[in-house]
Chain A
């Protein structure tokens, strides 16, 4: 949601190291970050704060796993959920980037409404715009999907009404193949 921007961010991790040179704090080992409705999980997270107080985070996945990001959408009971090798969160632009083996899912309640896979997905929470990039030559983003291709699955809007049931067909005359009439 938009309100997440000015919510406090709290972080749990195995260890914390403050890197003075880049002015970033580096969390390591099963990092879990919550900020309003945003939830981030990853193996290693670098968090940086700019002078105006916006926070930027780079989440890289633990070996063999994917970094995970989840956020509630504005004004709708829906969640955006994404996974990738690395996730970059830009607090100022309120934009999340999922890089390599990226997958973005929109959950309506428990059910998955839409699902996108590609090598680079950017999701702009403010303008609710997403772009999915295959990135030519990059490895396949999902099983069965050729390299450099993206895939999206959109489910129909729930308001689609079911059409009226079709009436039972009347008794049918079977067409005889002959015009000469069967010799019966």
Chain B
């Protein structure tokens, strides 16, 4: 404990590593370190050599050498040791009969050593080790495995690498084996003349764990990804996949990170896919960066690209989960230039969509914005505490008129806004005045014959709330409870716009964020006429010591003083005086439990339009069960279940807690899964169920996947994968979708920080 620190207060004394306990010895300090020798007898000439006999020990910095006899020549810093020699250098240990080593330069050789690396507890034995320097060593005719020895004479490691030579480079954290054979349960499965493997999870070129699968669409599928570490700020991953029923798909991902721009390019190309008898390809580029124009007045301009395109409409079915666009049937190609100076900002953007149509479920394609120019000027804390902002937008909407049944148009709108926010700890009040002016120019006359239209809509909104607090206790726990009533009044006069075409407006969900906003529609083509008052209240239970929110309940309702006449094309005016009641609850009572629900309930119809209820139970590592029900009336009703649970728990074997990312010990089975059920389609839409086996030094994984590709057909697939801990790079698994979709899913071997050298201290 750091003596300078003030005495610890009463309670369990906490031992913390003092910052002076250095993990790595800086190269500048190393030559100045003294050498400590001890043994039963010593003799020698000062400054020349020292000979120590009888359990001799030499210790300097992070290196210790123990042997029966030890000669140390000070002029050339050479240590000669003989008789059960043991070296521990920063946690890596070598044992053997004889050694000659220049300690600081760590140059020398070691005969018939047995070694063990701190990094991933890999060990082995060899004929000879040549130490090149303190970071590199070459091991001749060596073995390497991470399967720890278990008692009993007949024990053999599950997998082992025998190599003519292994070159260990701790700086690059890479091992390079030549003339190597990997045998798994004594069966040589991977004879590889030249092979490099990671000593840690640091980026490094090399093979990734191969994925093998059976699929009703692709037949037998083998993917052997290769990771190429081009430079510290550039890397590429190739995942060529052989599909027996269809052909070979060449996929790849290239990532780059420069000083003022970065990006990722993913692409795949499949010559003559026999499934559809044509070439298939798809690419997606995400790029963001700044361009320094060098012009004094202009300064730097931001550039963001998100381009996605594929070869045909069936791409999403035949290449499931491979694109990087979240909406697999709607691919955006979005390029934008942004420029800002002080309170003024400018955006120029072009956005086009590729919609993968399907005759059985057509999609009305959204509008392209070719181009969109947005200028924004905002000022805060003007005299009198006013905040003001003006936003101008000019957009040319373009789409396929036969599908949208509307003319394309050029639209320009300006939105001016003035607010006077009063903010105090106990209350807030924000009156806001908005003026929304829009003008259209259609490229074909409307039903009324007009080719232009314009609309000016003012809006007044008053938003106010109070914050009360008190100490309270529920179920025996003390809380700081808050009560936050809020009122939101908005008045927007009616402006006739129902027969105007709609380009970028749609109804927003009904939740606690949208209930306190002025416009019932998103986008700028519909400004709903309002004369309504929203009243709501939220109460939070806060932990008095940490301020953490243990639970939150909210309720809100709208009182409408006048019907809302503005509708989307084909919509009906809203006439209820009392809107649906909105209930919300988020409970994180204990770290294991968390539930989250927003339910909108209409007392008249007794039905709900928008409800989301979710719960998650995760008592510890590798144990999580989560379920969610999401309803959007007349659009979707989804049930989503995800879990990861050790099967050994069933028969009481709880496993050891080795910390996150280390699994729970050997011989454990884990069941993993995610089911997404669409109640409207009465179908299991997306199902992934997997079984993972953790054998300590290797992981086996079997995954069954069923992906609905249309209302009538689905892809079914089985995937196998082997991961050798400490040999193949970790974490890259075919279960990428599980990591996304099961909250808190944990890989059995996560990126682990290097253990401290003091954990293996002699």
Q: Using a Cβ–Cβ cut-off of 8 Å, how many residues does chain B contribute to the interface with A?
A: 57
Is the CB–CB distance between A178 and B731 below 8 Å?
yes
Q: Which of A50-102 contact B (CB under 8 A)?
A: 73
A155 in the interface (beta carbon within 8 A): yes
Rounded to whole Å, the gap between the CB of A99 and the closest CB of chain B is 15
Q: Which of B1-42 contact A (CB under 8 A)?
A: 27-28, 31-42
A3 proximity list for chain B (CB < 8 A): none
B205 in the interface (beta carbon within 8 A): no
Rounded to whole Å, the gap between the CB of A144 and the closest CB of chain B is 10
Is the CB–CB distance between B40 and A175 below 8 Å?
no
Is the CB–CB distance between B28 and A165 below 8 Å?
yes
B751 in the interface (beta carbon within 8 A): yes
Is the CB–CB distance between A173 and B35 below 8 Å?
no
Q: Name the CB-closest residue of B to A160.
A: B31
Is the CB–CB distance between B28 and A163 below 8 Å?
yes
Is the CB–CB distance between A166 and B32 below 8 Å?
no
Is the CB–CB distance between A128 and B34 below 8 Å?
no
Which among A153, A165, A170, A179 is the interface contact of B732 at CB below 8 angstroms? Answer: A179
Is the CB–CB distance between A172 and B232 below 8 Å?
yes
B321 in the interface (beta carbon within 8 A): yes
A179–B226 CA distance with the chains assembled, in angstroms: 10
Is the CB–CB distance between A106 and B257 below 8 Å?
no
Please judge, given known A-B contacts A152-B50, A154-B50, A162-B28, whether A173 and B233 are in contact too, CB under 8 Å. Answer: yes
Which residue, A118, A133, A154, A163, has most C-beta atoms of chain B within 10 A?
A154
B28 proximity list for chain A (CB < 8 A): 162-163, 165
Q: How large is the interface on A (under 10, 10 to 19, 20 to 34, 35 or more residues)?
A: 35 or more
Q: Which of B555-579 contact A (CB under 8 A)?
A: none
Q: Name the CB-closest residue of A to B737.
A: A180
Is the CB–CB distance between A179 and B286 below 8 Å?
no
Residues 101-139 of chain A, each 1 if its beta carbon lies under 8 Å from chain B, else 0: 000001000000010101000000001111111101000
Rounded to whole Å, the gap between the CB of B54 and the closest CB of chain A is 7
A45 in the interface (beta carbon within 8 A): no
A149 in the interface (beta carbon within 8 A): yes
B343 in the interface (beta carbon within 8 A): no
A184–B740 CA distance with the chains assembled, in angstroms: 11
A179–B28 CA distance with the chains assembled, in angstroms: 39
A134–B37 CA distance with the chains assembled, in angstroms: 13
A168 in the interface (beta carbon within 8 A): no
Is the CB–CB distance between B40 and A148 below 8 Å?
yes
Is the CB–CB distance between B35 and A177 below 8 Å?
no
A169–B592 CA distance with the chains assembled, in angstroms: 41
Please judge, given known A-B contacts A153-B36, A177-B731, A179-B237, whether A132 and B740 are in contact too, CB under 8 Å. Answer: no
Which among A131, A157, A161, A162 is the interface contact of B75 at CB below 8 angstroms? Answer: A157
Is the CB–CB distance between A116 and B27 below 8 Å?
no
Rounded to whole Å, the gap between the CB of B734 and the closest CB of chain A is 9
Which among B32, B237, B739, B750 is the interface contact of A160 at CB below 8 angstroms? Answer: B32
Which among A134, A151, A160, A169 is the interface contact of B54 at CB below 8 angstroms? Answer: A134
Rounded to whole Å, the gap between the CB of B652 and the closest CB of chain A is 32
Which among B41, B45, B201, B739 is the interface contact of A178 at CB below 8 angstroms? Answer: B739
B739 proximity list for chain A (CB < 8 A): 177-178
A11 in the interface (beta carbon within 8 A): no
Please judge, given known A-B contacts A130-B44, A132-B42, whether A154 and B232 are in contact too, CB under 8 Å. Answer: no
B463 proximity list for chain A (CB < 8 A): none
A181–B33 CA distance with the chains assembled, in angstroms: 47
A162–B266 CA distance with the chains assembled, in angstroms: 47
Q: Name the CB-closest residue of B to A149.
A: B38
Q: Which of B719-751 contact A (CB under 8 A)?
A: 731-732, 736, 739-740, 747, 750-751
Rounded to whole Å, the gap between the CB of B379 and the closest CB of chain A is 33
Please judge, given known A-B contacts A150-B41, A156-B33, A184-B286, whether A173 and B234 are in contact too, CB under 8 Å. Answer: yes
A150–B50 CA distance with the chains assembled, in angstroms: 13
A9 proximity list for chain B (CB < 8 A): none
A128–B225 CA distance with the chains assembled, in angstroms: 65
Interface contacts beyond A154-B35, A156-B34: sample of 20 additional A-B pairs, CB < 8 Å, sorted by A:
A127-B45, A128-B45, A131-B42, A132-B42, A133-B42, A152-B37, A153-B36, A153-B37, A157-B47, A162-B28, A163-B27, A165-B28, A171-B232, A171-B259, A173-B232, A175-B203, A179-B253, A181-B264, A181-B266, A183-B324
10 contacting pairs across A/B (C-beta < 8 A):
A73-B46, A106-B46, A134-B54, A151-B38, A154-B74, A160-B31, A161-B31, A166-B27, A181-B264, A184-B286
